[in-house]
Chains A and B, each alone.
Chain A
Amino acid sequence: MTEGQTTANQPQDDQEEGAVLTVEHLVKQYPQAQSPVLNDISFQVPKGKVFVVLGPSGSGKSTLLRTIAGLEPIQGGRILLDGQEVETGHPLGKHSGGPGGLMSGSRSSDLRTRIGMVFQSYDLFPNRTVLDNVTLAPILVQKRKRDQARQEALELLDRVGLADRRDAWPSQLSGGQRQRVAICRALILHPEIMLFDEVTAALDPEMVREVLQVILELADQGLTMMIVTHEMAFARGIADHIVLLDGGVLVEQSDDPEAFFTHPATDRAQRFLSTFTYERRREQDQDQKS
């Protein structure tokens, strides 16, 4: 990299401070689409911090997480994990396959275990018990000893309050329980960063808290996380860093979640936040008065 570029790339400097994830000028475009889904996205997730992505539906939030997890090829920019390049963009061309063209496996198994991801639809393996769901990857991919993997799985399940359901089948669990198992399944691989993709969006309101509580505890333990969510109160409570994505562009980035929620810098963020609750409007009014 030449010197001129180094100065142009802001993120490069911050890398010394220990960014777990660095995304530079990421562009994502689907083959038949007119305009990119994600356009020139750059940000960093520092170690031990919680990075929250907000945005209206269709803004590209989930796509962003999917590109980081390696589920979608990117057409521009690059993704770095611990300062090491894991993905670079290739413009659309003959080689960029159709939908789901990822499984040819451009990323090594080892690399994939370093990024944990939890999906909206939990996606436990229905043909395996709770415990087997959690121990499958450590045994198969990381070649860990069966006993050791089981022991750690039980500890994790205990932490999320599900140790007694270890032998249950996923179909016997509630949505919130399944999602907590899915979190354990990702955690047992000791990923450097966890990606949460609207993990409570498919849950009954009553089950949302039990899942978010687990994520809050993980944040307290210093796990690096990137969270896409529609739960504003949760975002406000957990975020160290918050960004607003709209139309595939980062319209606002903030290191101060409170400020973001009370005094959003951009019009777009203001409009986005005003779509939520009346209470939040009232807070804004009061803030303006005081």
Chain B
Amino acid sequence: MHGVEVLFQPGVMPRLFQGLWVTVWIAGVSVLLSLPLGLVVGWLMTRRNRLIRFLMRIYLDFIRIMPQLALLFIAFYGLSRAWNLNLDATGACLLVFVLWGGAELGDLVRGALESIPCTQVESAYVLGLSSWQTFSRIILPQALRRLLPASVNLATRIVKTTSLAALLGVIEVIKVGQQIIDANRFAYPQATLWIYGVIFFMYFFICWPLSLVARHLEKRWAHD
């Protein structure tokens, strides 16, 4: 069991929690901002306008094909070189994760919207509902339910991908862990296992409640 004492060194756990807070903050803000973006993107992708659909296609494919790390470097280094747009590291992360989450969620929203049979729209139409009432009262609630499992999965992917932020110098939980391990290299050579072990559980306890919430909601809406 040696090396476990490193966790009880003054400042170690508080620092890990500070790092965790940065992770949660970046992931949380990214998820929250990608929700409206994804809804709008998904809605646009179901429009019949060819130009809009084409633009959305390019956006989606571009974001998906590029590795997130490359996107982060473009946002952090590229934008400042090209247009003198200086984002700080956290800002660059948020930009990339929101664009990425919005694109992925948009595709999920599109799939969910298209999976609602068009007879639902037709029966709402003959009942006199306006197209907005049909969308907001009939189509969207059903689509959201079908969307839920995949979007929770996406949220956990965003949480995990925030670890890339360390490469832009954001001091999030992984980076904090590395710093602690480096600082204790001689005193506690086994610290690596313990620190990363703690980080493992930290990620777990962020993502697990998400899937619990998803399961609960799915059960509550299970009359489809």
Partner-B contacts on A (CB < 8 A): 69-71, 97-98, 100, 102-105, 109-110, 112-113, 115-117, 119, 121, 123, 125-127, 136-137, 140-142, 169-172, 182, 185-186, 189
Contact = CB atoms under 8 A, between A and B. Distances in A.
A125 B128 CA distance: 14
A140 B126 contact: no
Contact of B130 (A109, A169, A170, A172): A109
15 contacts: A69-B126, A70-B125, A98-B48, A100-B118, A104-B131, A119-B123, A123-B119, A126-B142, A127-B221, A127-B223, A136-B127, A137-B129, A140-B133, A172-B223, A185-B127
A206 B127 CA distance: 28
B183 to A, nearest CB: 55
Contacts of A115: 126
A123 B120 CA distance: 6
A189 B128 CA distance: 9
Which interface residue of B121, B125, B137, B142 has the most chain A CB atoms within 10 A? B125
Contacts of B133: 140-141
A71 B125 CA distance: 8
Which interface residue of B48, B127, B221 has the most chain A CB atoms within 10 A? B127
Given A112-B126, A189-B127, 20 more contacts: A70-B126, A71-B122, A71-B125, A97-B48, A102-B125, A103-B121, A103-B131, A109-B128, A109-B129, A112-B128, A113-B128, A116-B126, A117-B123, A119-B122, A127-B223, A136-B127, A137-B129, A140-B133, A141-B133, A170-B223
B149 interface: no
A189 B129 CA distance: 12
Which interface residue of B118, B223, B224 has the most chain A CB atoms within 10 A? B223
Contact of A112 (B48, B117, B120, B125): B125
A189 B126 CA distance: 11
B135 to A, nearest CB: 10
A140 B129 contact: yes
Contacts of B224: 126-127, 171
Nearest to A116: B126
Nearest to B123: A123
A127 B122 contact: no
Interface residues of B, number: 25
Contacts of B138: 125, 127
Interface in B48-102: 48
B160 interface: no
Contacts of A127: 138, 141-142, 145, 221, 223-224
A172 B138 CA distance: 18
Which interface residue of B128, B141, B224 has the most chain A CB atoms within 10 A? B128
A136 B126 contact: no
Contacts of B221: 127
Interface in B102-150: 117-131, 133, 137-138, 141-142, 145
B223 A126 contact: yes
B56 to A, nearest CB: 19
A224 to B, nearest CB: 16
Contact of A140 (B48, B121, B122, B137): B137
Nearest to A132: B137
A141 B134 CA distance: 11
A186 B119 contact: no
Nearest to A99: B118
Interface in B204-224: 221, 223-224
A102 B123 CA distance: 13
A112 B127 CA distance: 6
A58 to B, nearest CB: 19
Given A126-B142, A126-B223, A126-B224, A137 B127 contact: yes
A71 to B, nearest CB: 6
